[in-house]
Amino acid sequence: MSEISETEEPKTSGGLRPRITLWASLAILAVVIIMAVFLVTNPVQDEPAAPPSASQESTESATADGECDVPAGDISAMPDLPEDLRWEAANGWTWPVSDTYGPTKDEGGYGVCFARSPLGAALMGVSLIAEGNTGNQPEAIEVYIAESAGKEVYRKTLAGEAPATSPAVFSGFIVDSFSDDEARVTLVAANPGSPTGYVGVPETFRWIDGDWKLQVLDDGRIFQGQPTTPAAGDFISWGEANG
């Protein structure tokens, strides 16, 4: 994935890449910034592993049958943030997590098991981006991406991207729609190059085997159309990073 550019205007989107040009083209995760969720290369091998987080130490590994047993909580379009929301940190990245709503379990070093709610889907979205960029790309794709015709296309697309050099700054999210089996959420990241200072990347998550999975289109893109430029107040803010 390409690095985030703070001066370029968003383009069209297609994949998940932390750079503003990609954010805008799409693949914001494939496009501009954040969303370029996964690195195209493996993480630095020489750095010592970060100590496990409190949630990783206190939870079991994800069960083989995918049962997570996470409380759904508020399923409205404007959910309140949980009191236990905190910021995880690794390799320069920081992202919001909740010991109650997700991730609540660990699968091969990746946070899984999120609440079946808009908040759970949003937490899943930022985790897949951050952990995809701080972990191993092929592994992250298998953990977080739903099986589909576009999954292999997506994998090959990311394989041609350069590593992200600037971590995304996660700002908040917008709940576009929600049902028991599908959540459409726009993830919002800071982008000084946009008219509002933010860029939004719409993503679709499917509830599969007891957890959320990112759904990509058959052509490997994350979404159709252009990324958005929400302004402060248009989205639910994660608050200040304190990780």
Round the average pLDDT of the chain to a whole number and report it: 76
pLDDT tens figures, 205-242:
999 999 999 999 999 898 888 899 999 999 999 997 54
pLDDT tens figures, 150-189:
998 888 877 666 556 689 999 999 999 999 999 999 999 9
pLDDT at 111 > cutoff 80: yes
Is residue 130 within 8 A of residue 84, CB to CB? The reply is: no
- What average pLDDT does the segment 100-116 reach? 96
The better pLDDT of the pair 59, 160 is held by 160
pLDDT at 13: 36
pLDDT tens figures, 70-93:
999 999 999 999 999 999 999 999
User: Tokens 């959420």 sit at which residue?
Assistant: 185
Phi, then psi, of 167 in degrees rounded to 5: -60, 145
Helix runs in the chain, H state only: 20-25, 54-58, 118-134, 137-144, 149-158
According to the 3-state scheme, what is the secondary structure of 47-78?
Answer: CCCCCCCHHHHHCCECCCCCCCCCCCCCCCCC
The model's pTM: 0.75
pLDDT at 229: 97
pLDDT at 50: 40
CA dihedral over 68, 70, 75, 78, signed as positive or negative? negative
Tokens of 119: 């908040």
Tokens of 179: 């049902």
